[in-house]
């Protein structure tokens, strides 16, 4: 059986051996063994992992661009976690894509009607 540490320094040494404390000198890439072989560009250029059908809807495409930009700036997620987030959004928007596109069409129709109404009222004055 191990003897208990005699002082705080021995306890810290024991914790370091057990992996409870970081090894010195500390660097930001310590204990990132799974991500060592992943190229940098896979963390940054995430557009290729988005669903192409969702990109046909302008509001969803703009939203996915922002999600990709946010995930690219997040150093705490692995590439697999970033892909999982994009997959979750793809599943979320698949059922809602038709209603989103209908909302966009309706908004464009209302904008056109308002434009016509304004041009008609401007001529009558």
The answer to whether position 53 is within a domain reads yes
pLDDT at residue 124 in the model: 65
Task: Report the distance separating Cα 43 and Cα 92, nearest Å.
Answer: 22
The answer to whether position 80 is within a domain reads yes
Please give the full DSSP string across the chain, using - where no structure is assigned. -PPPPSSHHHHHHHHHHHTSSPPSSP-TTTT-GGGTTS-HHHHH--GGGS-TTGGGSHHHHHHHHHHHHHHHT-TTS-HHHHHHHHHHHHHHHHTTHHHHHHHHHHHHHHHHHHHHHHHHHHHH-
Per-residue pLDDT tens over the stretch 3-59: 888 899 899 888 888 888 877 776 666 666 677 788 888 889 999 999 999 999 999
pLDDT at residue 38 in the model: 84
The answer to whether position 23 is within a domain reads no
Q: Which domain holds residue 101?
A: 40-124
- How many other CB atoms sit within 10 Å of the CB of residue 76? 5
The answer to whether position 19 is within a domain reads no
Does residue 1 have a pLDDT over 70? no
pLDDT at residue 46 in the model: 93
pLDDT at residue 45 in the model: 93
Question: Rounded to two decimals, what is the model's pTM?
Answer: 0.67
Per-residue pLDDT tens over the stretch 62-83: 999 999 999 999 988 999 999 9
The answer to whether position 18 is within a domain reads no
The answer to whether position 52 is within a domain reads yes
The answer to whether position 34 is within a domain reads no
How many domains, the chain?
1
The answer to whether position 14 is within a domain reads no
């Amino acid at each position: 059986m191990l003897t208990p540490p005699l002082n705080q320094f021995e306890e810290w040494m024991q914790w370091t051996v057990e992996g409870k404390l970081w090894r010195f000198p500390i660097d930001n890439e310590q204990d990132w063994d799974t991500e060592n072989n992943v190229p940098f560009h896979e963390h940054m250029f995430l557009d290729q992992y988005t669903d192409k059908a969702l990109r046909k809807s302008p509001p969803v495409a703009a939203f996915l661009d922002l999600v990709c930009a946010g995930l690219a700036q997040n150093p705490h997620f692995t590439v697999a976690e970033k892909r999982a987030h994009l997959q979750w959004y793809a599943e979320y928007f698949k059922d809602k894509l038709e209603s989103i596109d209908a909302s966009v069409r309706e908004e464009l129709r209302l904008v056109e009607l308002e434009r016509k109404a304004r041009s008609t009222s401007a001529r009558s004055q």
